[in-house]
């Protein structure tokens, strides 16, 4: 995940196509879209960090 703050992820430019790897990258369009939806709900920085981990994790 690097040193990206969860609140800054929604402002990133997404890649053209999703890589669909087991752990999605931070610039994946799916991750950015879901984080934009969550950031609009007024979550705290700590809650956004947990949400980012959950969004990036691939559900089996």
pLDDT mean over 32-48: 87
Q: Is the model's pLDDT at 33 over the cut of 60?
A: yes
- CA 59 distance to own-chain centroid: 14
The residue that leads in pLDDT, 21 or 29, is 29
pLDDT of residue 1: 52
- CA 13 distance to own-chain centroid: 12
What is the chain's mean pLDDT, rounded?
84
Distance CA 31, CA 45 (A): 16
Q: Is the model's pLDDT at 2 over the cut of 80?
A: no
pLDDT mean over 6-29: 85
Distance CA 57, CA 30 (A): 12
The pTM score is 0.78
């Amino acid at each position: 995940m690097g040193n990206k703050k969860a609140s800054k992820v929604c402002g990133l430019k997404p890649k053209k196509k999703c890589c669909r790897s087991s752990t999605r990258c931070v610039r994946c369009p799916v991750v950015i879209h879901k984080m934009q939806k969550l950031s609009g709900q007024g979550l705290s920085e700590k809650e956004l960090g947990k949400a980012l981990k959950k969004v990036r994790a691939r559900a089996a």
